[in-house]
Structure 1
């Protein structure tokens, strides 16, 4: 190839024109760029607004103050923070193939991403255990899963997630043994976080163990719910005592809540499992995942933060009523916090 065959240097676009060692910039053409902007932007807006509505609903309306709903509120908090601190910056990175927010926030961005993911899965795990207790013994449940127990579950979820993720990425322990690779990948305008094989296995176990617990618990829940449904059907033509009738109504409500949260768990697994599997494969095969595939997996995972409020809106009548009160401004009326969202 002669020098005349070489592409002109000006044809190569870089993130920072005036800096040496800048990353190569490969932005999308206007059509795909507009589509990606709409998809990414919609996810961020849904994650922020939807989860904010969940938190406001549970924290404002007193009838929604329950240990189980507090878990839901803090789960929504994790998803809300993904929409605020992670998705907007990832949106720019995905569309521009450049990181314009500095190396310090690159590390923080990855810490936030990991912390809120783990916080979500441990909240979901505790919620599944809460539903199991509610289904198996609905009359004793209020004395077993109290506000203090819920608080301990919330504190454990956040402390484990934040302390582990920040200690891993903040100290650089994730890059141990990968110094040459990290040095080769480092350029101005890039934000690549490499995780070595031992740490990626720990990451996967922290994801897999609560996932396994949830699968086992929900399997038992649906078996029990199926048995309860048969029992209620068998007793439908018989005269039941009032206490039995009350127990059946409570059990029916708890089964519906368990079904709703079962959808939330399934959505979480569909969103995050491919990402975690790829991270393990990538670490052992030398980080061979193409950039575009990585971005797809990441955004599928991010979209989980936008899905939970949609699930609640579809299955929870009280959430739909709360949204209506909030958007119509009735939330600002005196004594609005005492409205019973469970009625009619």
Structure 2
């Protein structure tokens, strides 16, 4: 027991970090609540309003579930671990946090992959879109995304179960040569696929824009639907690229990046889960109206599921 206290020095750290811990916990609780409430609005909107029962919105629903779980699971676990820095006392919790973190991050980007595929067929093959991308296909894409994410999370988390010293802290990230394949499958490959698809969409959209220059309404409809989803992708890449890039450089051993900087990038990545509902509310009128009806309690006063959201 003496060695455990000497290595961890938990009592001294708790005394020194009390003020910082309170401020940090208030920040995390606020961020978690914003994530949960914002994404809950998206989930209720898609499930309740029949107008929103479309293949694209089911993919948005899956992404919102992912973002909600980040706020409900990953952030609270991270807060508890920050209060108890000793590996021995929080080993299982640390592994659970790592599992959910990898699962939900991978699920987010794979859901974005599915959304980009959906948009590709909508823009590049509009005549066959409804036959190729229907509810059954969308649900299959969601199941595959979550299954692949779960397999990746279990393989990465399980591989290091017996390799750690009990006196170590629970790291918010792992940057070793052994862990380097994780980010490649979790982030880089899906990101390259998504960017390639969106570049193809952009090229086709420009050709379409030239053909329908006189049809202003068609151009406006296209831009609102597809640009918004492109912004969701852009926000995701802005939030997560700094973390995966810094971990990649660190794992190669060619650059030494301060731990505090990488941890800050990790929190930036997690904050992405709060931003998506704001993007939907700002750019989609039907989501804005749905949010207003839910927040005002109107949906509890009668059956408004068939309401036309303008």
The TM-score with structure 2 as length reference comes to 0.87
The unaligned stretches of length 5 or more in structure 1 are 1-15, 237-247
Q: Which residue of structure 2 lines up, in the alignment, with residue 4 of structure 1?
A: none
1:264-305 Cα deviation digits (max 9, x unpaired): 111111111111122222223299543322320110010011
Whether the 8 Å CA contact 2:175–2:250 is kept in 1: the answer is no
Q: Which residue of structure 1 lines up, in the alignment, with residue 7 of structure 2?
A: 21
Matches within 5 A, 1:106-255: 106-172=94-160, 179=163, 182-183=164-165, 186-187=166-167, 190-192=169-171, 194=174, 196-233=176-213, 235=214, 252-255=220-223
Larger deviation, residues 41-50 vs 55-64: 41-50
Whether the 8 Å CA contact 2:239–2:271 is kept in 1: the answer is yes
1:250 Cα shift? 5.8
Instruction: Please give the secondary structure, in 2, of the residue aligned with 1:133.
Output: helix
Q: Which residue of structure 2 lines up, in the alignment, with residue 324 of structure 1?
A: 292
Instruction: Please give the secondary structure, in 1, of the residue aligned with 2:8.
Output: coil
In the alignment, is residue 98 of structure 1 matched against residue 85 of structure 2? yes
Cα 1:51–1:336 shift into 2, 3 Å: same
Q: Which residue of structure 1 lines up, in the alignment, with residue 307 of structure 2?
A: 339
Name the CA distance, whole Å, in 1 between partners of 2:203 and 2:256: 42
Cα 1:210–1:194 shift into 2, 3 Å: closer
Corresponding pairs, count: 304
Name the CA distance, whole Å, in 2 between partners of 1:323 and 1:99: 43
Name the CA distance, whole Å, in 2 between partners of 1:110 and 1:332: 38
Q: Which residue of structure 2 lines up, in the alignment, with residue 87 of structure 1?
A: 75
1:147 Cα shift? 0.8
Q: Which residue of structure 2 lines up, in the alignment, with residue 243 of structure 1?
A: none
The TM-score with structure 1 as length reference comes to 0.79
Whether the 8 Å CA contact 1:225–1:255 is kept in 2: the answer is no
1:214 Cα shift? 1.1
Name the CA distance, whole Å, in 2 between partners of 1:270 and 1:169: 25
RMSD, aligned CA: 2.8
Name the CA distance, whole Å, in 2 between partners of 1:141 and 1:121: 22
Q: Which residue of structure 2 lines up, in the alignment, with residue 242 of structure 1?
A: none
1:164 Cα shift? 1.5
Name the CA distance, whole Å, in 1 between partners of 2:106 and 2:184: 11
1:59 Cα shift? 0.8
Name the CA distance, whole Å, in 1 between partners of 2:223 and 2:104: 28
Whether the 8 Å CA contact 2:212–2:218 is kept in 1: the answer is no
Q: Which residue of structure 2 lines up, in the alignment, with residue 5 of structure 1?
A: none
Name the CA distance, whole Å, in 2 between partners of 1:338 and 1:129: 28
Name the CA distance, whole Å, in 1 between partners of 2:149 and 2:160: 17
The unaligned stretches of length 5 or more in structure 2 are none
Name the CA distance, whole Å, in 2 between partners of 1:146 and 1:261: 18
Whether the 8 Å CA contact 1:92–1:99 is kept in 2: the answer is no
Whether the 8 Å CA contact 1:78–1:116 is kept in 2: the answer is yes
Name the CA distance, whole Å, in 2 between partners of 1:265 and 1:252: 20
